[in-house]
């Protein structure tokens, strides 16, 4: 998918959760009011510094994404104050997608009504599973009933665009359990579903439990079966798999995430947030204390900055573009002997190709990175 020059998104990383799930390696802290106050004042300073530098050059934001962590760890009025500050700082497109991630077990109707009234128009719940036993195995607090209640509350509060994040291949989860989760969620009529295979991140509690043989490692074959089952099931329910892990009802693909996969630009605020702007990738320091200290000294908390060469940009266009259902134009494939490479991958059943575009097959999606390497 091509994107116009105007595609620009803003990501805000809110690094707080009530408890850390056993698989989670995101940068976050356990929510505490003094730490959240430190974060809010540092974030306001980060916004002020970017405003002073006029970094975004007057371009309108097409999407604003509050992620984390659990953004709803902050009270709703504070999230609204933050959104108000952002809109007062940068022009925001009238039809901008404004997403907030939320934990199903920590929201109220009143909070969500405040957020919807303020202009948040998309909500993403970390549902993970619809089996309580899975929650225990991944250390996620709450109960599955909370997800159903949260979706109903969100809808009543005015959210029409509702995403549910799911994980599959959890310890002790089998194919019928996964199908049960998918079936249960259909009764909630979400507009978007993200399905992620459980991966084991270094340093997590789950990685330690596996190393000590307390928990079995994910079964890759089973995960592939679960992925195929989700693809079939969700297609029958009217969802289009527009990206490897993402399924949407018509017109509900996540515009913010599409920026990442189509070479769009985004500015990330908050500790550990990543940015891509004017051909430069940069990331904020993943430490609230150091992040706040930099901003206190009027310095942006950026730790790494990479200017992408033309070849690196082309490689990204290929790697990220191939994640999308409709693939990439043939012209993006840079491999020597392009046609022969494409034909070879087509004959192995990994790629579909026509005169204009190449796209991964279902099989190819499992080996997306390897295929991309061969095409570069």
Q: Which chain residues interact with ligand SF4 by CB under 6 A?
A: 17, 20-21, 24, 26, 28, 68-70, 103, 126
How far apart are CB 19 and ligand SF4 at their closest, in Å? Answer: 7
* Contact between 318 and 332 (Cβ < 8 Å): yes
- Of 271 and 364, which CB lies nearer to ligand SF4 in the complex structure? 271
- Of 103 and 323, which CB lies nearer to ligand SF4 in the complex structure? 103
User: Which value, to the nearest 10 degrees, does the dihedral of the CA atoms of residues 322, 324, 330, 334 take?
Assistant: -30
Determine how β-strand 122-128 pairs with β-strand 161-168.
parallel
Determine how β-strand 8-14 pairs with β-strand 265-269.
parallel
CA distance 336 to 143: 53
How far apart are CB 307 and ligand SF4 at their closest, in Å? Answer: 31
CA distance 215 to 187: 31
- Of 103 and 252, which CB lies nearer to ligand SF4 in the complex structure? 103
Determine how β-strand 29-30 pairs with β-strand 240-243.
unpaired
Q: Which residue, among 319, 315, 191, 309, has the nearest Cα to 250 in the 3D structure?
A: 191
- Of 8 and 31, which CB lies nearer to ligand SF4 in the complex structure? 31
How far apart are CB 140 and ligand SF4 at their closest, in Å? Answer: 6
How far apart are CB 192 and ligand SF4 at their closest, in Å? Answer: 17
Phi/psi at 264 (nearest 5 deg)? -70, 170
Q: Which helix (H) or strand (E) holds 92?
A: strand 92-102
- Of 124 and 246, which CB lies nearer to ligand SF4 in the complex structure? 124
CA distance 328 to 322: 6
Contacts with 337 (C-beta within 8 Å, 6 or more apart), sequence order: none
Q: Which residue, among 29, 21, 14, 286, has the nearest Cα to 128 in the 3D structure?
A: 21
- Of 127 and 328, which CB lies nearer to ligand SF4 in the complex structure? 127
- Of 193 and 294, which CB lies nearer to ligand SF4 in the complex structure? 193
- Of 143 and 306, which CB lies nearer to ligand SF4 in the complex structure? 143
How far apart are CB 20 and ligand SF4 at their closest, in Å? Answer: 4
Largest CA distance in the chain: 60
How far apart are CB 289 and ligand SF4 at their closest, in Å? Answer: 19
* Contact between 93 and 60 (Cβ < 8 Å): yes
CA distance 52 to 222: 52
How far apart are CB 36 and ligand SF4 at their closest, in Å? Answer: 14
How far apart are CB 138 and ligand SF4 at their closest, in Å? Answer: 8
How far apart are CB 228 and ligand SF4 at their closest, in Å? Answer: 25
Q: Which residue, among 48, 49, 29, has the nearest Cα to 39 in the 3D structure?
A: 29
Contacts with 93 (C-beta within 8 Å, 6 or more apart), sequence order: 60, 61, 62
* DSSP letter string, 155-175: HHHT--EEEEEEEES-TT--H
- Of 154 and 294, which CB lies nearer to ligand SF4 in the complex structure? 154
- Of 268 and 364, which CB lies nearer to ligand SF4 in the complex structure? 268
CA distance 81 to 256: 21
How far apart are CB 87 and ligand SF4 at their closest, in Å? Answer: 25
């Amino acid at each position: 998918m091509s994107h116009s020059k105007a595609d620009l998104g803003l990501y805000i990383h809110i690094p707080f959760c009530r408890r850390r799930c056993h698989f989670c390696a995101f940068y976050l802290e356990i929510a505490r009011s003094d730490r959240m106050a430190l974060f809010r004042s540092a974030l306001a300073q980060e916004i002020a510094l970017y405003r002073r530098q006029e970094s975004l050059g007057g371009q309108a934001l097409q999407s604003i994404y509050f992620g984390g962590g659990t953004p709803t760890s902050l009270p709703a009025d504070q999230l609204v104050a933050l959104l108000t500050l952002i809109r007062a700082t940068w022009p925001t497109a009238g039809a901008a997608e404004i997403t907030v991630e939320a934990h199903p077990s920590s929201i109220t109707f009143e909070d969500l009504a405040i957020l919807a009234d303020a202009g948040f128009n998309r909500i993403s719940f970390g549902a993970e599973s619809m089996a309580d036993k899975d929650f225990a195995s991944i250390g996620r607090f709450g109960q599955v009933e909370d997800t159903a209640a949260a979706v109903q509350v969100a809808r009543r509060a005015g959210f029409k665009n509702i995403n549910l994040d799911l994980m599959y291949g959890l310890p002790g989860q089998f194919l019928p359990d996964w199908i049960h989760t998918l079936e249960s969620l259909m009764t909630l009529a979400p507009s978007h579903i993200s399905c992620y295979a459980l991966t084991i991140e270094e340093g997590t509690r789950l990685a330690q439990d596996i190393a000590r043989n307390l928990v079995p490692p994910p079964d890759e074959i089973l995960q592939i079966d679960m992925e195929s089952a989700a693809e079939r099931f969700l297609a029958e329910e009217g969802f289009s798999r527009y990206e490897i892990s993402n399924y949407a009802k018509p017109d509900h693909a996540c515009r913010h995430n599409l920026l990442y996969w189509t070479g769009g630009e985004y500015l990330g605020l908050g500790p550990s947030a990543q940015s891509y702007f004017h051909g430069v990738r940069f990331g904020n320091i993943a430490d609230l204390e150091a992040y706040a200290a930099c901003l206190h000294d009027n310095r942006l908390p950026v730790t790494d900055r990479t200017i992408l060469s033309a070849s690196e940009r082309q490689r990204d266009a290929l790697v990220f573009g191939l994640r999308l259902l409709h693939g990439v134009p043939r012209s993006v494939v840079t491999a020597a002997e392009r046609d022969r490479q494409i034909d070879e991958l087509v004959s192995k059943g990994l790629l579909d190709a026509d005169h204009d575009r190449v796209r991964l097959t279902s099989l190819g999606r499992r080996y997306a990175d390897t295929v991309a390497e061969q095409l570069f």
